[in-house]
Each structure stands twice: as structure tokens, then as C-alpha cells.
Amino acid sequence: MRVLYFYQYFTTPKGSWSTRAYEMARRWVRAGHQVCVVSSVYDKSDLQPRGLVTRMLIDGVEVRLLNIRLSNRHGFVRRVVTFAAYALLASWFALTAQCDVVLASSGPITVGIPALMAHYVRRKPMVFEVRDLWPEGAVQLGVLRSPLVIGLARWFERILYNSAATVVALSPDMATEVLRVAPHATVAVVPNAADLDLFGKVAEARQKNRGSAGKKMALYIGTLGRVDDCGQILDAAAVLKRRNESVIEIVLLGDGAEREALERRARHEGLSNVRFEGLVPKRELPRWLRDATCTIVVFRSLEVLNSCSPNKLFDSLAAGVPVVQNTQGWIRELLEETRCGITVPPGDGEAMAEAIVQLARDEVLREEMGRKARRAAEERFDREVLSQRMMEVLEDAARG
């Protein structure tokens, strides 16, 4: 089967972003399918263009890299322009590339434009993957305010959901929201996955380091942006400093629009227990997770963000590291059921600091949660299983 895959943020493990598209596509190729990914240039990706359109072959996956540059640091207008430019250029491939099924993965939701072109002009079956709820996320963040623009965005969202043979949601909460918008849509849940091979030796190494003296590291991995309430992490750091918890250090791996402001605040408040390490390629994450007491997953207190499916969560589970997180949706339920982490209220630095201290001091609890985290990764989020589930969705769509 030939899959035409529209996704703007394609990255391999050499980059510092989600590798979901890469990992799934290469497994589909290994199973005998043909996959062509039409992507653009993300500043956290490792792919670099050599012209307007660069043709690449990566582990058997055909990649068409459009020289349109994306960054979370860009302002709203520039992001809209780059999204529109991608949709326009990608539509050429939608109208010309050989395929049996089209897969479009958002955000941004404009990635659905070339998919709709292939669907309605060429009658190709279409699968639409929802990584982020849009426009609801933009509305709750205050990015979209015009009633006319919001109405048009929601109209386009309904068209995409109703046009797709299947809508793939990355969490149960996302699936609920899709069905609220389009009650007659067919929805499948295929969450992000745990890289069991990449992080396979981390749990073993952590066991060897058990009881070692020195700093206890709480680790944040991800974007330092508007939706990520990393200010709560600094609130926790301030509490730890006030309580003289000098053994605990918080390390942030990542970049984003809020990084400079966060660093300024850390300097102003004298938070010497916080380190900003910048972007790290995914293939280098195991050495950081090996030494982490816990990882931190944090988002702003918005209803829409309770549905998120962040890669940093699955990396932590695969590495057997307990999670401290503040969302109040399906992730909270997962941690309560599997007992592999601690949920704290959003915006509560005291509670986050207390959870970090508890895991730093209680070695038995930390080891128990770590084992259960790895077990959850193996039993629920195996990349091989979820890649096959996604391929079954595509095959069902192709069969009509």
C-alpha cells in the first residue's frame, strides 16, 4: 500500500522533537508498504533543505522537504503565513503523488488542506490525525479572538472530521472532543508511544546507581512555550530553595519562546538550583533520564490541555522514571491506575516541590514507581503495537 503522509514537523532521533511520524513510517516500510512524507523545516528537526523541495530517502521512507521554516519562537502572523505556504505547496503533491491513502497529521490544522484536495479531487481515502485540539486550544489560549475567525475555524474543523474515513486521536479525551464536534465521525485512539529499545537499558543502569550519593535531579524535557507552564517549575524551585533542599536540582532540557523570560526570572530570584541545558537530540535523552529522580510534565491550567499526549511522558515511562505532572485529564487517571507518578494541582509550586522531595527522599517509593512506569510503557504504549494499530486504520480506510 502507498501512503501519502502530510506532516510539517518530521524529525529523526538526531533531532530534538517527536519522532512519532518517523518511527511509524519506517515500520510501515519494513512491513512492505511505501510511504512518502511531505514535511517542512522545523528548527528542532535534524533535516536541512538544499532547495525549494529536497528529496530524501530516510530508512526507506521517501521525504519531500519543503523549504518553509517553522519555529515556536515565530509570532502569530508569521506562523499563519508559513502554515498557508506549506498547505499551498503540499497541495501539488496531493494532486500528483501516487498513493492509495492519505494521512494528514495536525497541528497545524491547515495540514488538512492538501489532504482534502487529494480526497475530493482525486477521490483518495483520507485519515486525519489530531495531535492537538484546534481551534479550541487557540481559543482558550486567547490566540483566536474574532468570532468570525473562530466560526470559520470550527467550520473547517468539522469538515476535516466528517471528510475523514477515520479521525485518529492521541488520547481518549481528544477522541471525546472530536465526537463532540462531529458526532458521526469514526474515531480511533492511537496514543504516542514509548521507545522501549532506545530507553531499554536505562532502567538497568538506574538499578545499578541505586542508593548513590550526590545531587537528586528532577528533569523537565520539552518546549518552553506558552502552553507549558514552566513558571510552576520555578515556583517549585523557589520553595526548594526556601526549604534549603540543596541536594535537589531541577534541569530543563528544551527551548521555546518563554526560555529567556524563565532564565531572567531564575537569575533575578537567585534560583541556583535550576539549570537550563537547551535542546538535546532524542538519542541523547537516555543518559539524562538514567540520572533523573523524576521527570516533570507541566502545562497551563486550561481544559483543552488536559487532553494532551506529550512525548516527554512516554519517554519517562519507557526509561522507568516516576512522573510528577499537573494535568487533570487522562494522564492523571493513568498515573492513579498504574501508580507510576504523582499528580499535583496546576499552578501549585508548593505541591510540586513536595512531590519532588518525596521522590528524592523515598528510595523505595521511587523504585516502585519506576518499575510500574516501565511496565505501563511495555503493556500499553509499545511502539510496535501502536504502529501496527495505525497501519490497520490506514488499511481499513484504503479498503473503503
Q: What is the DSSP string of 322-388?
A: -EEE---SHHHHHHHHH--EEE--TT-HHHHHHHHHHHHH-HHHHHHHHHHHHHHHHHH-BHHHHHH
Residue 335's Cα: distance from chain center in Å? 18
| Nearest of 251, 296, 292, 254 to residue 273 by alpha carbon | 251
Predicted confidence at residue 211, as pLDDT, reads 46
The pLDDT assigned to 141 comes to 86
Looking up cell 487529494 gives 118
Residue 109 pairs with which residues in a beta bridge? none
Would strands 53-58 and 61-70 be described as parallel, antiparallel, or unpaired? antiparallel
Tallying the residues shown for the chain, one arrives at 400
pLDDT for the residue 285: 93
> Domains of the chain (ranges plus CATH)?
2-193+382-399 (3.40.50.2000), 202-380 (3.40.50.2000)
- Give the pLDDT of residue 206: 61
In angstroms, the CA 398 to CA 400 distance is 5
Provide the residue-wise pLDDT of the chain in tens; the chain has 400 residues. 999 999 999 999 999 889 999 999 999 999 999 999 999 999 889 999 999 999 999 999 999 999 999 887 888 788 888 999 999 999 999 999 999 999 999 978 999 999 999 999 999 999 999 999 988 988 998 888 999 989 999 999 999 999 999 999 999 999 999 999 999 999 999 999 999 998 987 756 665 555 445 689 999 999 999 899 999 999 999 999 999 999 999 999 999 989 999 999 999 999 999 999 999 999 999 999 999 999 999 999 999 999 999 999 999 999 999 999 999 999 999 999 999 999 999 999 999 999 999 999 999 999 999 999 999 999 999 999 999 999 999 999 999 8
